[in-house]
Structures are given as C-alpha cells and as structure tokens.
Amino acid sequence: MVFALVGNQNCGKTTLFNALTGANQHVGNFPGVTVSGKSGVIRGHDECTVVDLPGIYSMRPYSDEEIVTRDFIIDGRPDGIINIVDASNIERNLYLTLQLLEMHVPTVVALNMMDEVRANGGSVNIQKISELLGVPVIPISAAKNEGITDLIKEACEVVKSKRYPLVTDFCAPGPVHRCIHSVSHMIEDHAQREGISARFAASKLIEDDKKFCKRLALDENEEEMIEHSVKQMEDEYGMDRNAALADMRYTFIEDVCSKTVVKAHESKEHKRSIKIDKVLTGKYLALPLFFCIMLLIFWLTFDVIGGRLSDLLSLGIESLGGLVDRALTAYGINPAVQSLIIDGVFTGIGSVVSFLPIIVVLFLFLSILEDTGYMARVAFVMDRLLRKIGLSGRSFVPMIIGFGCSVPAIMSARTLSSERDRKMTIMLTPFMSCSAKIPIYAVFSAAFFTKYRAIVMIGLYLFGMLTGVISALILNKTVFRGKPVPFVMELPNYRMPSAKSVALLLRDKAKDFIQKAFTVIFIATVIIWFLGAFNTKLNYTSDSTGSLLAIIGKLIAPAFRPLGFDDWRIATSLIAGFSAKEAVVSTLGVLTGTTASTVSNVLPGLFTPLSAISFLVFTLLYTPCVAAVTTMRNELHSRLNAAGIVVFQCLIAYAMSFVIYSVGGLFV
C-alpha cells in the first residue's frame, strides 16, 4: 500500500512523516523530474509506504514543486491519502481537503496540533466533523507522537476496505451547483477512461485548466458547451469562475466549522512570536541581528566546535594512514600500489573526510534556525532588499539552501511561480558559498590567517552574496528585464526545533558527504593520482614534475599568472574542483605529498597571503561542481543555458580575483 502524505506548508507534515517512518526513509527524485522527495516504510507495517509530498495550498498549483504534488496524486495513483490539517488553522487547511475529497481516493484526515488547540481553550467535535466530511478524522500531535498509532491503523483499514469519501458534493443549490453537475455529466465518459473522478475533472475544467482539457481529449463542441455553462454561472453568480468555486468551498467550510469547532484563544506561541518578531523583524535591528547570528554560527563552527573536532579526526586519519603505510612497507607491496593507497586514498579522501565535523556542525545550526521558524522571517526581511535587485524574498530561500549545497538549492527554485525569477535565482544561487568549499577555506585560513579564521570565513560568504547582488543588478538591466512577482509567505509560530528532525537531517547530510567522498571525490583523486604518478610512457615515477599531470597543468597555469598563482599544481587542483569542490584540497594534498593536517604547511611555498586571498575568491566564485551544472541543465531544460552560466561564473571569478590581486598589489 502506498500513501500520499499531503498538506499545507508549515502544518507539521515533515514531523508526521518522521513519526510514521522513523529511520526507514529513502530520499529520491520523483519520476521524470528533479524535485527530490522522501518515501518511507511505516513502522510496524512493512507492506505500507508513505510518500512525503511538497507542501501545497490548493490543487490548482502555480510552482513546479506544487505541480509535482498534484501529478503524483493523479498519475501516481496512491492507494490512499493521509491529509494532514493544522487544527489551529482549520478553515484554511480544509480548502485543500475538499479538493482531495473530490478526487475520490480513500482518505484519512490527520488533525494535527490538537494539543495546542486544547491548551488554548479550543476543541473539535471529531465524530461530527468526520460525518460532515465523509472521511475518518484522527486527532494527533505529531510533535508529541500522540495519536500516530490510531492514524496508521485507520489509514490501513480505509485502504484495505476501499472506503471512499462519502461526501464529494459541497455545493448549495444555485448557479455553481448547476454548472459543476452539468460539466460532470458532459465529461463523465472522458474522465472514466482516464481513471479520474468526474467531479474533480469538472472543477479543473471550470478553473480553465488547459492540461485537463487536453488530457480528456475534448472536442471543440464539448469545450464550447463547457465554456457556455461557465459563462452562464459567472453571469448568474456575479463572480468570475475561480472566485465562484472558492466561495462555494469556503461556504461549506464555514458551515462545517460552525457545527464542529470551538475556536481557541490566541495561543501563547502566537503571542510570543509577535513579541519576538518586533525585534527580529524590526526595521532597524533585523539585518544586524541576522548577520550577528550568522557570525556566531561561523565562529562556533570553524573555531570552537567544528574546527577542533576536525583537527582530532585529521590526527586519527593520519595515524591510521601511517600505520597502513608501515604495514605495506613491511609487506613489501608494489610501490605503485602503495602510492595509490597512501597518496591517493588516505591523502586524497582523508583530507576531505576530516572536514566532516565542520559540515555537520554548520548544518546543525542551520537546521535549528529552520525548525524554529527564523529562516522564514529572514526571507520576509530580505524581500525589500531583493526587490531592489529584481528578485522577491522567496528567492532568498534557495540562496540560503545554497550555503549547504547548490544542487538542492537550484532544485528548490521550482517553488518560484515566475519563470523570470526562477531562472535568475538559478543563475545567482551558485554564488552562495556551498559547504563543499569549507575544506578549501579551512586549509588556507590555517596557513595564512590563523587568528582571523572566522572573519575570513564570513568575509568570503558575504563577498559571495555581494557578487550575487552585483550580478543581479546587471542581469536585471539586461537579460532579465521586468519586475519580480509579489511575495507572500506564511510566517509560522516560533517553535522549539524537533531533535528527531534535526538528527535525521544531520544523518542524511553526513551520509551524502561520505558517499560523495567515496564516489565522486574518490574517482577524481584516483585519476589525479594516476596522472601524477605516471609519465608520458606510462612508467611509474615518484617525481610528479615529469608526470602527465604536470604537462597538462603547465599548459593551463600561465592563464592564472595575472591572478597571482601560476604553479601547475594549483591549476590542476582547480580543474579537479569541477568534479567536486572538496577535490581541490585532496588534489593539492596528493600533488604535494601531504596529509589533511599538514597540507596547510606547504601552501606558503605556493602562495603569498595576497595570492591566497585571490585564490580563495576564485574558488568561491568559479564554476559550480558537475552535479550542480547537471541540475542547472535539467531545471533550465537547456545545455546551452547551463554552459552559459558556467562561462559567466568563470568570467566573474577571474575578473574579481584579478581586481583583488591588482588592487592589493598596490598596498603590499
């Protein structure tokens, strides 16, 4: 049995998904698209799988991510729907519920946050609301794991017994009622052939959904008859088609709520949120506080917690590498194989894996900010600034995600309803420094700016944002002329972050990082080792200056001389960085014969402090990794556009590094 988990944004859907599945989760892409979603086996029910769909407010979607949800329910044909509803905001949430009921799929409504409703003097007559909606309604508190067992039991029972919604007609007698029933009768055969509820299809056609009109293969005469019915409804009702349907649904919802819901008083959480927002979203304090919070996070990540844990892990990897090296020497293994294991695997992979604690700690803080509801406020605060460069506050969300990884950040731009905003956001997101670049910053900071590591780190992040702003201003006046769409975002109440959700996120991020280290980075490291260990006659050489890699690097290196670094090893590391940014450090380690903790010791021989800054700026801004470029190609549906973005970013990186090195040279 496959269940679709559907609900509005910020209704506790992710928390419920975690409660249903525990650790039995799988992250993957939906068929035919690059929007990732989670599926998991329900605990104690190995035959049941639940799919966590992107949050949606209506079955009339605007963004690509919302379309994924609708298409999965229609085309994926789940056996049942678990519709999660925020009990503290029940009127708005039930708007989606009515549309789901029209689809005639076995459905259970999970009434979430009932503990908060009761705590604030509210109540819901569960039996009565179940009768009026025609489906089982189960009160739950996903955060406290209350009612989850009852929900699972009821959902399984509904699907096994094929209990379809008993109520799908929400119309009072009148023009809307006549129009829906008239269209339903006209298209009944078409809908039955497609396996779609005639009532739901009729609503879509009345809303003028072109996709459904094409899907049902209506002839011109049928389309004209439907349009005539809609026009007659609009004239009689005095509203346009969409307003009339919305009014019909909300009239039904108001009637249901008046009979079943006792409204709660304003919650303590809401009162507290309003007080906090007066400070955190205030006109003068919002931005300074945001930057102070980020500075604190970077300081704790790179200096206090993550940096020290990373140093300990580096020592452990070095000790293990030394032990293996001595064992291989004693065994008398072939020198080439020993070089591959020590110089390739331990030096290359080890130098990257040692930064795992830094990345996990950074994601820990970012996930806490997300779970508390603060990140939604940041997007709201940034809207005014982003509008000046041609974007809306909604674009800030992908950019924030970009600090973790460019791939999901680019994919999350699907939530933008404007094609212009989406393309522009995709172009600018890679300027946000992803976590893969952290090893580069950490190594160079340790070599040249030991006392100012946190300042250098946040300086690079801010410089990436500044470059994105400058690029946006240029693009807004040239390629992407126009205005951003209006920005609307729900601000959830501040809540304590869920320890379980944070832990699962950290587990996934650590798993992704380690998988990348032992796949993409491993392959890149082995290739770099091979090119650096063999000469043109494919003879093993311990002197990398006569290797294949040296020949390639020396051809490219002169191009970077104006930027202050022209050593062939540096040029080679930048090329390796296209596979994965972490490979820049592992490549330098392989080519200089150093380990994770000692690679910074050889950097002063390759760079001056000024050229090191120039190099850091270049790695900050130049082309994203091959995975991000592939995602761009998929999202933009164009290889040419993706290649254009790569060229654009490389030119920006070269120009910025050149300016910094040239201007800095005047003062050094």
- pLDDT tens for residues 36-45? 567 889 988 8
Mean pLDDT, residues 580-588: 80
What is the pTM assigned to this prediction? 0.68
Domain 2-160 falls under CATH 3.90.1150.10? no
Sign of CA dihedral 473, 475, 477, 483: negative
pLDDT at 315 over 80: yes
Cα 378 versus chain centre, distance: 16
Which of the four pLDDT bands, split at 50, 70 and 90, describes residue 485? low
Mean pLDDT of 143-170: 91
- Look at the block and give the residue holding tokens 């890679």: 430
Specify the pLDDT at position 179.
93
Cα within 13 Å of Cα(38), Cβ side: 22
Residue with tokens 């605990």: 43
**Taking all residues of the chain, what is their mean pLDDT, rounded to a whole number?**
84
How far is residue 668's CA from residue 661's CA, in Å, rounded to a whole number? 10
Q: Answer with the residue of higher pLDDT: 79 or 383.
A: 79
Tokens of 524: 């890149």
- Evaluate if residue 597 carries a pLDDT over 70: no
525 within 8 A of 348, measured Cβ to Cβ: yes
Is the pLDDT at 171 greater than 60, yes or no? yes
Nearest Cα residue to 428 out of 459, 470, 461, 481: 470
The DSSP call for residue 136 is -
Identify the pLDDT of residue 361. Answer: 82
pLDDT surpassing 60 at residue 33: no
Tokens of 661: 């090195």
Please name the residues in contact with 80: beta carbons below 8 A apart, sequence gap of 6 or more: 1, 2, 3, 4, 105, 106, 107, 108, 155, 158, 159
Percent of the chain with pLDDT over 70: 92
pLDDT of residue 54: 82
Nearest to 611 by CA among 666, 660, 556, 555: 660
pLDDT in tens, 49-68: 999 888 888 887 666 667 77
Query: Percent of the chain scored above 90 by pLDDT?
Result: 24
Task: Give the domain 175-262 fold.
Answer: Helix Hairpins (1.10.287)
Domain ranges (residues) in the chain: 2-160, 175-262, 266-304+357-511
Amino acid residing at 292: C
Among 495, 441, 395, smallest CA distance to 298 is for 441
Q: What is the pLDDT of residues 172-183, one digit of tens each?
A: 888 998 999 999
pLDDT at position 260: 95
The whole-number average pLDDT for the span 276-297 is: 86
pLDDT digits (tens, 9 = 90+) for 80-94: 999 999 998 899 999
Residues 301-313, mean pLDDT to the nearest whole number:
79
pLDDT computed for residue 32 by the predictor: 39
- Half-sphere exposure (CA, 13 Å, Cβ side) for 13? 25
> What pLDDT shows up at residue 85?
95
Q: What confidence score (pLDDT) does residue 64 get?
A: 65
Chain segment 498-525, per-residue pLDDT in tens = 777 778 777 877 777 777 667 766 777 7
Q: What is the pLDDT of residue 232?
A: 92
For residues 250 and 33, which has the higher predicted lDDT (pLDDT)? 250
Asked if 236 contacts 177 with a C-beta cutoff of 8 angstroms, the reply is no
Cα 244 from Cα 87, distance rounded (Å): 26
Average pLDDT over residues 537-563: 83
Provide DSSP, 86-115: EGGGHHHHHHHHHHHHHT---EEEEEE-HH
**pLDDT, tens digit, 9 for 90 and up, residues 464-477:** 988 988 888 888 88
Per-residue pLDDT band at 30 (split at 50, 70, 90): very low
Beta bridge partners of 24: none
pLDDT given for residue 84 in this prediction: 95
